[in-house]
Amino acid sequence: MTTQITMPALSPTMEEGNLAKWHVKAGDKIEPGQVIAEIETDKATMEVEAVDEGVIEEILVPEGSQGVKVNTPIATLSGEGDAAKPAPKQQAKAEPSAAKQQPAEATSKRAPAQQTAQTTPSERVLASPLARRLAEQGGIDLSGLNGSGPNGRIVKADIEAAAKSPRAAPQQQAAQQSREVSKPAPTQAPPPATLESYGIRNGSYDLVPLDLMRKTIAKRMTASFRDVPHFPLTIDLEIDALLKARGEINKRFADNGVKISVNDMCIKAAALALKLVPEANASYTPDGIALHHHADVAVAVAIPHGLITPIVWAAETKGLAQISAEMGDLALRARERKLKPEEFQGGTFSISNMGMLGIKSFASIINEPHGMIMSIGAGEKRPIVKNDALAIATMMTVTVTCDHRVVDGALGAAFLKAFKSFLEDPMAMLL
């Protein structure tokens, strides 16, 4: 029996991927769990394992193909399951001897019942994923078609032939009317503006095609900024004590390979603040507010053509040295696009630090379903007032963008107050 291997959905938001590499070729025998291909998603390159055993009949999508839609057939597999199943004669031999001695008349009476059971309407129609999609789009009933593929499988050609037949018109018309009734009238969107329409001369620029990562970033950030009612809260922190503590830790444990960064300390402080103000460690859902058990902190890492947010899971339970080691490993593999989906999908809170780039302050767009995202600016010497006198201190500006459905102003302020207490008194993080 021939089956199709389709482009898998390697993440909940994946709609298409690039087929980076095949590890098999036509004629190769494969087994469940064997790596057969590498797929590039918007975030990482991941290996695809075989689900069934059999022989690769044909590679439908060559390696290097871009923008392959999820569920698109990419190869055909000749399964060996039929060889493992006993043939009808073998099944007859396997029956008890008493069954063999039944009269021929009884056997003949039983046969129609068996045939009826085999052809009940509830039996699943054998059709390729592409044929099912085309049938759904065209309003064609698969149960009334005879497939021309292997074992009677309905394929694309059968759908195209059915669409041209006279009897398909009433089905298509009914399906179209049903869709028109069930769907609200679409809002007429203006066509996308071209650069030429803004007065930019054609040929005066180079157009770089969008890769999967940039497409996904554009789509998700547009949806978040448009659909999430958000607002920023900003606070200035004095970090001289933090810098001193960081220097002492790195000096004392240098022989152990420990090198703590300000970002590592911010991750720890944010995690502890989320546990101190648990209502802020939350996500909005249509069914209610989800209060998370752990502070799973996603940290933005810049990579070519975009960014990715690897996660420090249960950060409130980890020491600074462990957080530092995990972030170093995650950031390295993120830039090489070797992260596993479970290492960057999920989380309860986000941090974006642009202080090392000299950015003083900024406000990030919420990474749903997180209830907040923190934007960390550069630490710099500033004049401040201490005890009614002018003084110099190292200050850092931090902004949290809050989802107002989950975190209102008072709750966001309580979180920032807790975060400030940990950063301005680093010893509190040890309690």
Q: Which residues does 371 contact at the CB level (< 8 Å), separation at least 6?
A: 280, 281, 282, 283, 284, 348, 349, 402, 403, 406, 407
- Beta carbons of 426 and 260 less than 8 angstroms apart: no
Strand partners, 76: 4, 58
Please report the pLDDT score of residue 166 as a whole number.
56
**So where are the chain's domains?**
2-96+126-177, 214-430
Please report the pLDDT score of residue 362 as a whole number.
97
Which token pair is 317?
């339970």
Tell me whether residue 404 is one of the annotated catalytic residues: yes
Please report the pLDDT score of residue 131 as a whole number.
75
Highest-scoring range by mean pLDDT, 17-21, 84-88, 159-163, 224-228? 224-228
Q: Which residue has the higher pLDDT, 419 or 208?
A: 419
Please report the pLDDT score of residue 408 as a whole number.
96
Average pLDDT over residues 289-298: 98
List pLDDT tens digits, range 359-382.
999 999 999 999 999 999 999 999
Please report the pLDDT score of residue 211 as a whole number.
82
Please report the pLDDT score of residue 353 as a whole number.
97
The helix (run of H) or strand (run of E) holding residue 317 is none
Q: Which residue has the higher pLDDT, 240 or 152?
A: 240
Q: Is the model's pLDDT at 172 over the cut of 70?
A: no
Q: Is the model's pLDDT at 169 over the cut of 90?
A: no
Structural domain 214-430, CATH architecture: 2-Layer Sandwich (3.30)
List pLDDT tens digits, range 37-60.
999 887 778 888 888 888 999 999
Mean pLDDT lowest among 153-167, 238-252, 297-311, 321-335:
153-167
Give me the count of residues in the chain.
431
Burial group, residue 323, by CB count within 10 angstroms (0-12, 13-18, 19+): buried
Average pLDDT over residues 65-92: 66
Please report the pLDDT score of residue 321 as a whole number.
95
Mean pLDDT lowest among 11-15, 157-161, 270-274, 384-388:
11-15
Alpha helices in 16-96 (DSSP H): 81-84, 88-94
What are the distances in angstroms from CA 213 to CA 40, 246, 306, 316, 344?
Answer: 10, 35, 7, 30, 14
Please report the pLDDT score of residue 174 as a whole number.
54
Average pLDDT over residues 124-133: 71
Q: Is the model's pLDDT at 93 over the cut of 80?
A: no
Distance of CA 96 to the CA centre of its chain: 53
Query: Which fold, 2-96+126-177?
Result: OB fold (Dihydrolipoamide Acetyltransferase, E2P) (2.40.50)
Please report the pLDDT score of residue 381 as a whole number.
97
Place of tokens 């009238």: 185
Please report the pLDDT score of residue 189 as a whole number.
53
Burial group, residue 269, by CB count within 10 angstroms (0-12, 13-18, 19+): buried
Which token pair is 260?
């703590």
Which token pair is 208?
């770089």
Question: What pLDDT band is residue 214 in, cutting at 50, 70 and 90?
Answer: confident
Among the options 23, 292, 294, 404, which is catalytic? 404
Please report the pLDDT score of residue 278 as a whole number.
97
Q: Is the model's pLDDT at 399 over the cut of 70?
A: yes
Please report the pLDDT score of residue 318 as a whole number.
97
Place of tokens 């947010």: 309
Please report the pLDDT score of residue 80 as a whole number.
53
List pLDDT tens digits, range 315-330.
999 999 999 999 999 9
Say if strands 349-353 and 372-386 run parallel, antiparallel, or are unpaired: parallel
Q: What percent of the chain has pLDDT over 90?
A: 54
Q: Which residue has the higher pLDDT, 397 or 218?
A: 397
Other beta carbons within 10 Å of 3: 20
- Beta carbons of 264 and 320 less than 8 angstroms apart: yes
3-state per-residue secondary structure call for 158-213? HHHHHHHCCCHHHHHHHHHHHHHHHCCCCCCCCCCCCHHHHCCCCCCCCCCCCCHH
Average pLDDT over residues 224-243: 97
DSSP state for residue 43 in the 8-state scheme: S
Average pLDDT over residues 189-214: 82
Q: Which amino acid is at 364?
A: S
